[in-house]
């Protein structure tokens, strides 16, 4: 049996779809459906069972016989709201929860692949999986880094597969429930339909209007990395998952406008409350990931945006 936490969410539900395409329907999804609209991400997949996060973690902590049936845990569940400042909630949801799952996985020799984040790098200019480049600027990034460091501290005692994947800016279908945290592609498409114009931040931190840059990665590529690790159980470690390319928000806006054949760009004032906690530039260093033998090419920005917009606008 395969467990996917956050399996009703954006990346988690896409991982379940990837497993289904391989003929794996023995998937137990763990999530929190307080937002019932996420059922749509569940309904498109075939699963063996569903557990609420609270119920599942209770079973894990008491080492229920269910644990002996688990082959691998894809731990995608987390609070990914970078503007959330409730530290107690964030640490319980992202850190303590992850520790409990990991401890059970190690005891039972269950493979454990979890979602970390490029937010651990903060405003650094190098994105290499080493402590000297890690300095988060929000509690979300810190919760992810703390767990990465917890895993690092256990490395000598780890005998089964444990992998942390530092996702960069992921975009693609099934992210609408994330609301303000959905990708700029989603928001640009919505803005274009509503007003005919896309809103980008004006210049900040030395960048011109709309020229802040991120490593935007299509969700299919993220799924491919996760499933490749399922096929390669001897690989463990902490790896960046981005394209290794950086594009400006202007680039993304242009790709959306080109696809629609219409639209204009408005530049709005950069929010004062984000100035100290905003990443103006990200670009994944893929050296470690490539050294594992992962050779698959990543989707270009234009191809990813086009594929996503086709899905969004078909609805």
38/278 Cα distance (integer angstroms): 28
Q: CA neighbours within 13 Å on the CB side: how many for 183?
A: 29
Q: Which two tokens stand for residue 228?
A: 């490749």
Strands 264-268, 237-241: pairing is unpaired
Reference 242, options 123, 121, 141, 153; nearest CA is 121
Helices 249-260 and 184-195 pack at an angle, to 10 degrees, of 50
CB 102 within 8 A of CB 43: no
Give me the DSSP letters along 9-20. SHHHHHHHHHHH
Q: Where are the beta strands (DSSP E) in the chain?
A: 2-5, 27-31, 49-52, 72-75, 111-117, 162-167, 169-171, 197-201, 213-214, 216-218, 237-241, 247-248, 264-268
CB 90 within 8 A of CB 115: no
172/90 Cα distance (integer angstroms): 25
CB 233 within 8 A of CB 283: no
Give me the DSSP letters along 242-292. S-S--EEHHHHHHHHHHHHT--EEEEEPPPGGGTTS--SB-----HHHHHT
CB 85 within 8 A of CB 139: yes
Kindly name the residue from 95, 140, 142, 308 that is annotated as catalytic: 140
Residue 294 falls in the annotated catalytic set: no
Kindly name the residue from 178, 207, 267, 294 that is annotated as catalytic: 178
Residues designated as active site: 140, 178
């Amino acid at each position: 049996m395969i467990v996917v936490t956050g399996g009703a969410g954006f990346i988690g539900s896409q991982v379940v779809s990837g497993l289904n395409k391989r003929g794996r329907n023995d998937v137990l999804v763990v999530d929190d459906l307080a937002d019932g609209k996420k059922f749509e991400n569940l309904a498109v997949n075939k699963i063996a069972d569903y557990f609420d996060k609270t119920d599942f973690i209770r079973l894990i902590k008491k080492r229920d016989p269910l644990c002996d049936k688990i082959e691998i845990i894809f731990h995608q569940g987390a609070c990914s709201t970078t503007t959330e400042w409730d530290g107690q909630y964030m640490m319980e949801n992202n850190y303590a929860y992850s520790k409990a799952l990991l401890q059970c996985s190690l005891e039972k020799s269950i493979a454990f692949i979890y979602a970390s984040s490029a937010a651990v790098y903060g405003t650094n200019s190098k994105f290499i999986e080493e402590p000297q480049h890690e300095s988060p600027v929000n509690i979300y990034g810190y919760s992810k880094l703390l767990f990465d460091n917890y895993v690092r501290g256990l490395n000598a005692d780890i005998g089964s597969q444990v992998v942390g994947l530092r996702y960069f800016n992921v975009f693609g279908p099934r992210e609408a429930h994330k609301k303000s945290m959905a990708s700029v592609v989603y928001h640009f498409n919505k803005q274009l339909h509503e007003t005919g114009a896309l809103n980008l931040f004006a210049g900040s931190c030395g960048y011109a209007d709309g020229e802040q840059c991120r490593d935007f990665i299509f969700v299919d590529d993220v799924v491919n990395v996760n499933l490749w690790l399922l096929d390669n159980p001897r690989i463990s470690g902490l790896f960046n998952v981005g394209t290794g390319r950086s594009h400006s928000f202007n680039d993304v806006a242009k790709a959306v406008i080109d696809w629609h054949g219409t639209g204009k760009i408005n530049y709005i004032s950069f929010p004062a409350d984000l100035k100290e906690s905003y990443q103006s530039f990200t670009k994944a260093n893929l050296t470690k990931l490539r050294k594992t033998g992962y050779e698959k090419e990543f989707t270009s920005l234009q191809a990813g945006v086009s594929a996503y917009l086709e899905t969004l606008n078909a609805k």
